[in-house]
A and B are shown apart, each in its own frame.
Chain A
Amino acid sequence: MSTAPDTLPSSPPDVELDGVTRRSTIRWMALAWTGFAAATAAGLTATVRFLFPNVLFEPPTRFKAGDPSSYATGVDERWKEKFGVWIVRDTNSIYALVAVCVHLGCTPNWLQAQNKFKCPCHGSGYYISGINFEGPAPRPLERAEIEVSGEDGQIIVDKATRYLYERGQWSDAKAFVKMA
């Protein structure tokens, strides 16, 4: 290795050529690269935003479920195929359980004889209330918003709004319909 110089070399004088200096070049390059980075970031953000549609062509989640008096005590499966909800009536209320297993999304079956909902995929089991008691389901079935229409007294179910037991929402006003 060569011996180090006694003094640090002085920085070379700033050469100027037609008004272009080292400093001005670096300033322009910094500006250019910043602009490039900003444009790239904006482009990527726009691309990701593009993938989230503003309008969904899906069937409406709100439907009329008939007269409350047409529901006997127990689980009613008349809307299961079309809308994926069970209308359940117990002694003093009616509620709507969403027929989607909270484990991984299969459609459970109501087993009348064993008085439980049972998912055919991985065996999750739920009581008639929707509370999970066996299998891999980590939480109870979700309840859909349910209310009685002011105009014609029919039950209206809206699957877009969900009520989760584990968040204490089953006692919310629209999570059930109080029955006589």
Chain B
Amino acid sequence: MQQAIVSSQLWRSIFRVGIPNTNRKRVLAMLGNVVLHLHPVKTRKSGVKMRYTWCAGGVTFFLFLVLTFTGLLLMFYYRPTVEYAYVDILDLREQVPFGIMREVHRWGAHAMVISVWIHMFRVFMTGSYKPPREFNWVIGVILLVLTLLLSFTGYLLPWDQLAIWAITVGSNMASATPLLGIQGPGTNLLKIGDIQLVTSTNDARFGLLGGRFVGAGALLRFYVLHCVGIPLIAAFLMAVHFWRVRKDGGISGPV
């Protein structure tokens, strides 16, 4: 019976290789699978030792996946409008089963920021940024900035007093951008004749908020950035980041 199943065409079209009991079959099984082939076929023993890597990068990536999943669940109930944002967050606690999804998402965000710093610290302490790995370090710093931007954009979404004023203060810093912000140095340099190109409705802060103050435009923009824009960029850069680790000889290799 089992033999009939295992030798059927259906089975063989799914499991191409059979039980990986030879090295050749092990390699083929990894390389032939879309999820598994993202991992290296073999890894160093030191790569799975906690005291070498602290698993900090892995924890960060795991938290990113948790946040993506819980965020997706939150998206089924949350509406990013001035009218509904605050009450939807309350409803996620009161009206929805397991009313801690918002909390799990928030705690996960805090945890991810912390683990990103721990990972950075570990990489620094093991000298894993030294040549030829400098570029990957830079990618990592950009990922750090993206993580913090995700926290920043997500902070506005509950639309409570804490959120609105935090984002007001944070976005006012955008108006201090050199050249592109109305309160920054060099503002008056960008003009055609007498017409100012950078005004309060045409500067970096205005582009960030989609309005003159933190209102409906800012809420929607931050929602899109938080759920789609920044995660896409972060996912791409994470692919580059992991790829570079593999190509530079795998995790926890000699520096």
Contact pick for A58, options B165, B168, B207, B211, CB 8 Å: B211
Chain A residues near B201 (CB-CB < 8 A):
56
Q: A104-B169, A104-B173, A105-B168 are in contact. Are A51 and B216 (CB under 8 A)?
A: no
A53 and B210 contact, CB distance less than 8 A = yes
Once the chains are docked, how many angstroms separate the CA of A105 from the CA of B173? Answer: 10
Please provide the chain A residues from 37 to 60 with a CB less than 8 Å away from any CB of chain B in the complex: 48, 51-53, 56-58
Q: A105-B168, A105-B172, A106-B168 are in contact. Are A56 and B212 (CB under 8 A)?
A: yes
Once the chains are docked, how many angstroms separate the CA of A104 from the CA of B214? Answer: 13
Tell me how far the C-beta of B216 lies from the nearest C-beta in chain A, rounded to whole angstroms. 7
Once the chains are docked, how many angstroms separate the CA of A56 from the CA of B165? Answer: 21
Q: A121 within 8 Å of B by Cβ? A: yes
Once the chains are docked, how many angstroms separate the CA of A51 from the CA of B216? Answer: 14
Q: Mark B149-169, 1 if CB is under 8 A from A, else 0.
A: 000000000000000010011
A58 and B212 contact, CB distance less than 8 A = yes
Q: Mark A49-76, 1 if CB is under 8 A from B, else 0.
A: 0011100111000000000000000000
Contact pick for B216, options A57, A106, A121, CB 8 Å: A57
Chain A residues near B212 (CB-CB < 8 A):
56, 58
Once the chains are docked, how many angstroms separate the CA of A27 from the CA of B172? Answer: 49
Closest to B213 in A: A58
Chain A residues near B210 (CB-CB < 8 A):
51, 53
A53 and B165 contact, CB distance less than 8 A = no
Q: B215 within 8 Å of A by Cβ? A: yes
Closest to B203 in A: A52
Closest to B215 in A: A58
Once the chains are docked, how many angstroms separate the CA of A122 from the CA of B216? Answer: 26
Contact pick for B217, options A48, A53, A104, CB 8 Å: A53
Chain A residues near B222 (CB-CB < 8 A):
none
Tell me how far the C-beta of B127 lies from the nearest C-beta in chain A, rounded to whole angstroms. 38
B207 and A51 contact, CB distance less than 8 A = yes
Chain B interface residue number, banded? 10 to 19
Closest to B221 in A: A51
Specify which of B169, B202, B215, B216 lies most central, judged by the most chain A CB atoms within 10 Å of its CB. Answer: B169
Once the chains are docked, how many angstroms separate the CA of A56 from the CA of B211? Answer: 7
Contact pick for A52, options B173, B207, B215, CB 8 Å: B207
Q: Mark A8-49, 1 if CB is under 8 A from B, else 0.
A: 000000000000000000000000000000000000000010
Q: B78 within 8 Å of A by Cβ? A: no
Chain A residues near B217 (CB-CB < 8 A):
53, 56-57
Please provide the chain B residues from 19 to 61 with a CB less than 8 Å away from any CB of chain A in the complex: none
Chain B residues near A52 (CB-CB < 8 A):
202, 206-207
Tell me how far the C-beta of A49 lies from the nearest C-beta in chain B, rounded to whole angstroms. 10
Once the chains are docked, how many angstroms separate the CA of A27 from the CA of B67? Answer: 51
Closest to A54 in B: B201
Closest to A162 in B: B200
Once the chains are docked, how many angstroms separate the CA of A54 from the CA of B28? Answer: 57
Chain A residues near B206 (CB-CB < 8 A):
52
Chain B residues near A58 (CB-CB < 8 A):
211-213, 215
Tell me how far the C-beta of A47 lies from the nearest C-beta in chain B, rounded to whole angstroms. 11
Tell me how far the C-beta of B180 lies from the nearest C-beta in chain A, rounded to whole angstroms. 11
Once the chains are docked, how many angstroms separate the CA of A57 from the CA of B210? Answer: 10
A121 and B207 contact, CB distance less than 8 A = no
Chain A residues near B169 (CB-CB < 8 A):
104-106, 121
What would 7 more interface pairs be, CB under 8 Å, given A104-B173, A105-B169?
A: A52-B206, A53-B217, A56-B217, A58-B212, A104-B172, A105-B168, A106-B168
A-B pairs with lowest CB-CB distance, top 10: A104-B169, A105-B172, A105-B168, A104-B172, A51-B207, A105-B169, A56-B211, A52-B207, A53-B210, A58-B211
**Can you name 26 A-B residue pairings with CB atoms under 8 Å?**
A48-B207, A51-B207, A51-B210, A52-B202, A52-B206, A53-B211, A53-B217, A56-B201, A56-B211, A56-B212, A56-B217, A57-B216, A57-B217, A58-B211, A58-B212, A58-B213, A104-B168, A104-B169, A104-B172, A104-B173, A105-B168, A105-B169, A105-B172, A106-B165, A121-B165, A121-B169
